[in-house]
Every structure is written in structure tokens, then in C-alpha cells.
Structure 1
Amino acid sequence: MVLPFFGKKPAPAGSPTPRSRSASGSGSAQPPSGGRPRNTPARVETSSLDFTIAGDDLKRILAQCADKVHVEEGVDEMAPPAEEAAILFAHGGDDEARSVLEHALETTFESDARYNLWQMLLDLMRLTGQREHFEALSLEFATEFERSPPAWHDLSSQAARAGAEPKVQTINLSGHLGGQAAAQFAQLIQIAMRAGALRIDLGRLRGVDDAGAELLLRAVRGLRRAKVRLSLGAVTHLVNLLEGLVTTGRRANRPLWLLLLEALQYTEQQDRFEELAVDYAMTFEESPPSWEPPPVVTASQTGAESQGSGATRTYVLEGEIIGPNTDALRKITGFAADKTMVEVDCSRLRRMDFVSAGTLFNIISQLHNQGRLIVLTGVNSMVAALMQVMGLHQVAKIELHS
């Protein structure tokens, strides 16, 4: 599903009239006057938001934020209870967010708004690990909308800790790479084979000769054949270094040519690879290697700084991004440096607070203004609602998880 998160959806054929979730089950409730759910303050337009209150008291945060969200004309506005629940959840108010959503479902009658509130409530149950409540609510959802409810997935922090992947070891190559590094490469290969994964950081290399290129090329190709998950950090640095060492038409430095072609397969620069492959064929009068990019190894799996590496095609945000520690967000800029489309995998992102969401908005706005397409995939409904509050749907494509 693609956001804008609270965009219009066609009502399912035969869908019954939305009903109150009141426990009494007595007569139909009527919407409050003015078409706005109860206890919703009037909305005041402002030109900016203050993102410096992360450490403050939650009630003060809500008091300052409640009337400061401005949704530009032409963008579907979400229900105020959804905004309130999103901000409460963002700052750890799980029970309060649930209470707001359940009350909203008792007082909201518009079909699209109810569908989105249901999505948030079901996701909140998954995020807090409440399977029994989730299954009971799923029956109500299925009855109201006459469609299958989402499947149960435990998205709680406890489940995330149990399924966390170990960080992959990083080997740094520095200085001039030559034949004298043979013993170190033998050790590197042993480490990778034992662990099943390895990251090689190339950012500190200052030179490469034919013998060093041969060592690195054999290591990379051998680990790929052995199905080892391999990530090359700062691979664009190596590409730029090697391009200055090869000359089209001069039959020399064949290992450097082949390493350059291999390194390009760890980037998204297929056109650059194809041009170089033609130059290689003309120079050495033999068929060049084919374009066979390796499997994606995410920044999350490697625990690596993505800046300028080109080693991954997807940047991963995961866990809870809270408070002033926004390094994981700021590295998106470096990750996007050589890309026109930037995909950010949020499938393991449980929560982010108001300040972090503001930081993310600023970063993505800058990338958007540079003409880059940013896609946030696998976003849970609670985080997606906060992103909607912050206006991220105006500068990025947001896809909800299944």
C-alpha cells in the first residue's frame, strides 16, 4: 500500500454501515456537532514546528504540538484522534494511544477514517505484542469491512531482540595494497568463511598495484562463490582510484581492469560498468565479465556507516529512533550520494519520536529538492501516521507494511 497514508479508499462492495464499538451495544450513537470527534481542540495554522522538546514532559509536548500541525491545502487531512495517538505512541504512551484509538472508533462514522484508525489499532497490538487482543480485534475488523484482517506478526521490542541479527565484522584496508598483503588476505578469507558474512572497508586505500588487485579480486570472487554475504564499504572510492590507473587501448594492468569491473558490480552504476566492459574488450581482445551484482547486504546487517559506500541498495532503519541520537538518520544523506532513487527499509522500525521525525523530514526534504526519489517501505501504521503529521508524505513515497 502506498501513502498518502490517509488517502481515500473505495468502500468495499456490500460494506455495512460502520458501527459503534460501545460495549453497551445500545442505540446508534450520533456524531458530535460540527463533524469533529469530542474533545478535539480547534486547529491553528503555523509556519513551523519546534523540534527541540524531545526530553520534555509528554503532556507539555502534546500541549505544544496539538495545535501546531499544518496540513497544506490539497492534502487529505487525517483524523485528529489519529494525530494524537501517533504522537502519544511516538513518546512511549502505548496505553494512552490505544485509549484514544478505541474512543475514536466509538465516535467516528466516516468509512475511510474508521479503516485507518483500525489499521493503527491493529498495528499497535502487534507493536506491543498483544496477540490475544489483536485476534479479538481482527474479528471485529473482518466483520465490519468484510475482508481478511492483517496477519499476526509480533513487532514488539522483545521479539525484535530475540530475532536480532549479529553484527558483521568489518576489515579495513588502508595504505598501498600490494602483494605483501597475501598473508592478511588468507586470514581475511578464513574469518569470512567462519562467520558467513564480512564487510571490507576500502575508504583508506591510497594505492593499488597489479599484485594487490589480484589478491582482492580473488578474495571477493571466492567469497561470492562460497555464498558469503559480502559488503564493500566506500566502494566508490576504490572505483575512482582504479579508474585513474587504467588506460583504454594499453594492454597493461589487467588485474586492475578486472578489479574495477568487479567493484562496479557493488554499485548501481550498470551503465558505467557496460562502458568499461566495452573498453576492456577492445583493449584485451577478449570477452569482459558479465554484469552480476551480488545479493544485497543491508547497512543494518553490517552495522556499517553507509556514507558514500554504494555497497547497499537499501538503507535500513530499525528499532526505536528516540531523542538526540539521530546518526542513523543523518547517514541517509551519504547513502543517497550516488543514487537517484533512495529506498529506506522501515520494516523493522518500531517507533520514532517527534524530534527524530522532524530530523528525518529535514533530511528527506533536502534530497527531494535535489531531484531524488525517496521511498520509505514497510512502515507500520503508527509510525506512518507520525510521518503524515510531519508532512513526510509530501516529499517521499511511503509504503505501509503488509
Structure 2
Amino acid sequence: MSTNVEETRLAGVTTVIDKKAPVLFSVLTVGLLLIVALAAQSGDTTFRLATPSDFVELPAVTVPSTLTTWLLVLICAACAAGSVLLYRKERNTPMWLVVVFAVAWMVGFLTWAAAGGTIPVVGLLAGSLALAVPLVFGALGGVLGERSGVVNIAIDGQLLAGAFAAALVGSLAGSTWAGLAASMVAGTLVALVLGLFAITYFVDQVIVGVVLNVLVIGLTSFMFTQVLAPNSESLNSPPRFPALSIPVLGDIPLIGPIFFRQTVIVYILYAVVAIVTWALYRTRWGLRVRAVGEHPKAADTVGIKVNLTRYRTILIAGAIAGMGGAFYTLVSVPQFNREMTGGAGYIALAAVIFGKWDPVRATLAALLFGFASNLQGVLSVIGSPVPSQFMLMLPYVVTIFAVAGLVGKSRPPAADGIPYQKG
């Protein structure tokens, strides 16, 4: 790790104290301070908390932009000072302090950026969830693969293959469910090729993953140009999943429109996150997966078939990532386009690292990246003074800061990326 850490021994236990959080808190606080001091915005900022279709409409909140931003700068400074103090006392920054700082900083930035305008909070958060759906599916596939000891760099290829198969089969069958099933098959096939080279033939897993991503881009682009584009009406016009509101839950103010007025794929995502988390930590299968990812030789000695377990896990991971690809063509855009994932698989991989190879944490990390992606669109619509070039960079800047600055001291599964040769 390039980050300097301090190790202290207390009662025979080694505690790693990471200075990333206090440094990042301080830098971001100074950045927000400079923004407010050098480019102050006059007027009020309004946060709209409801939509016209809500059963109970929450009132909009209007705050003076300059005063509110300064107050939030002070809160961020207090969080940064607390983080520095904890570091000097050889204690790590707790997660609750990270959350408080992140919320205060983001609200402060939004208050400044939307001065004189209105932030549609429901639209911002609901759009963030929609953009995060493929990332969450991809991140779950990455977590499963790496927990079993296989580095799944091919997430982007699985997403793209899933999007292509969903569009093609969905158009031919006239069924969204057929398209969703095809996307799972396509993701599984890409994972099978990854497993064949990485598990059976011991090829470097990172190289195989990158090559697979390029191969899928080439194949889908060729098929789009030669097959889909000339026959778009019959082969590239799949039906779309409609948005479905869950009774009662969909009427909850603020929360309902964001989480419970979504498409079937989003509801499936909720279930997949819960099932993967439960299966990984509460079942014999999950124990075996984690065992072959941490110590395959020890797992082998107790009768666990290491490579078979890895194959099964990576195929499940590919099917899950493929469902994320279906979101592009069965929900977002009712047709397939070349390279339409836009490298989302690599951001999903960053979510895996940021989430420390845990399904729930990786999901939260993917939601963060989805929020950053949607934020650029919302700020552009409201006429924010933030330069458009920075808007385009925002999701990737957040990804870099999150992985490099907030992930802290983390360790992947011990056998991650290491092929297992029996004997």
C-alpha cells in the first residue's frame, strides 16, 4: 500500500491506523471553503422533497445558500478536526463520522451549486438508483468471483453481452422476460470463457478479463453494424419493463417514489443483494466459496473441490452481471447501441474494492457512483456554474477519491487471482 499507516500493538493485537480519512476530510473541507470564498453564490436554494403524484406531499425546504453553505463548511471542518484528533490518539475514523462528513459536504456543495434554483431531491435520488442498478449487479458478480479466488475483470464484457442478448432475444420473442433470461445466459457464457482460461489453463486472470472485454466489444459492435442496425424493427426493438408501484410502500413520502416505484429488474436487484449476502455468510455453499478464496489448499484437504467450486461461483456471478446488462436495453434505452455500458464494469470493479469484497458494502459503493453520475445531469439542468468539463469527470473523480481515499486498509481474499493446481 502506498498510504502511510501506523501500527500499534495493544494487548498483543495489531491495530492499523490509517491516515487517509483525516487527510481526505481536510482536503475536501479546504476545497469547499475555497469554492464558497472565491465564488460565492447569492440567492436561496430550494430542495423539493415530493413529486406531484405523492399521496402526502412534503413541503419544499428553502435555505439561504451562502449562510447554509458556510454552516456546512464548519460542520465539515469539525468532522475533519475530529478525524485528525482520533488519528493522533491512534484510533481509526468511525463510519458514522464518514457518513456525517459526506452528507454535510454534499449538501453544502449542492446548496452552493443550486443557488437561486431548485434541487429535485426525489428525482436526483431515484435517478441515482436507476443509474446504479447495472453497477450493483456487476459489483455483486465481482464480489462472488473474487471471494472464490477469481478476479472478474470481465464484468464490463458480461454487462455488454447481457445488454446485447436482452435486446436481440427480447425483440425476437417480444418478451421482456425472455430478454432477461437471455442476458443471464450471455453473462454466463462470458464467465465460462473466463473460467476456462483462468481456472483450467492457469492464464493470468487480469489479462484474460481485459481481453474478454475487448472481444465482447468487438463482437457486439460487429453484430450491431451487420445484423441489428439493418433490421432494427425486428431485431433491435425490445419491449421495456414498465415501472410498477408497490401498494402502500410506494406512497411513503420521499422513500416511496425512490425505492418502490421502480421496474421489476430493480425489485429483483433488492432480492439478489439479500440472497447473495445470506448465501455468502449463512450457508455451507458460502463457507466453501470463501474457503477456496482464502486458502484453497486447506479447503482441498477437507474434501472441497476447489476448481469446481470456483467454476460454479463464477458462472453464477456471470449470470448476475448479465442481468445488469439487461437493464440497459429493457429499461433505460429500448435498443442496443455499441459500447453502451460506457465502461460501467470497471466502476463496478471499483465498487467491489471500495466495498471491501462485501455484497452490502459493494452495493452502497455502487449507489454512490450512481449518485455521482446522476448529479452531473441534475446540475446541468438547473444551470449550475460548475464547468461542464468537470460535470463529465464527476463520476470518475468520485470513484478515484472513494477507492484511493476512503477505502482504508483493506485486504482481498488471500488466494484472489491465484490459480489452484492440485498437488
Compute the TM-score of the two structures, normalised by the length of structure 1.
Answer: 0.23
| Higher strand content, 1 or 2 | 1
Query: By percentage of residues, which structure has more helix?
Result: 2
